[in-house]
Structure 1
Amino acid sequence: MMKYLNYILIIVGAFVAMYAKAGANQNQYILICGIVLLMIGVYRISRNIPSKRDVENDNNDDKKLENE
């Protein structure tokens, strides 16, 4: 359920940011709120993606164990 919340935050944030940008009289507070929602969603998704360096270290540790 939390994974879907992240995607919903991204979609809603992008929609709100585009809506605020489309108007001739831009409401900067709505634009900022949309961007903040978008960035929160992206951050929450990126937290769950392992670092490339961590994956390489795990592979190296496995190879060391095999050689012993």
Structure 2
Amino acid sequence: MNVSRIINIISIVAGGVVAIYAQAQERQNTYILMAGIMLLMFGIYRTSRNTPSKFEKEEESFIKTEKENEV
């Protein structure tokens, strides 16, 4: 595992734990909850940024560029 992947996993887990902790208290602290959600979303964003889309397929063609004929 590389360092970037470890950072992503740690931020996702830590954000989830902080968000659950903030929700579990009798009087919820909104700022801690927001920080947990932001950390969670940061980890998810970094993870999804490196995941390739299944719809993006580069089709190779025999024509690399098409020149317009000048009249």
Whether TM-score is above 0.5 comes out as yes
TM-score of the aligned structures, taking structure 2 as reference length: 0.78
**Deviation readout 1:14-33 (Å, 9 max, x if unpaired):** 00000000000100000000
Matches within 5 A, 1:1-68: 1-54=3-56, 57-58=57-58, 60-61=59-60
Higher gyration radius (CA): 2
Runs of 5+ in structure 2 lacking a partner? 63-71
**Deviation readout 1:6-52 (Å, 9 max, x if unpaired):** 00000000000000000001000000000000000000000000011
Seq. identity, %? 47
User: How much is the aligned-residue C-alpha RMSD, in angstroms?
Assistant: 1.2
Aligned residues: 60
Runs of 5+ in structure 1 lacking a partner? none
Q: Which runs of 4+ in 1 moved over 3 A?
A: none
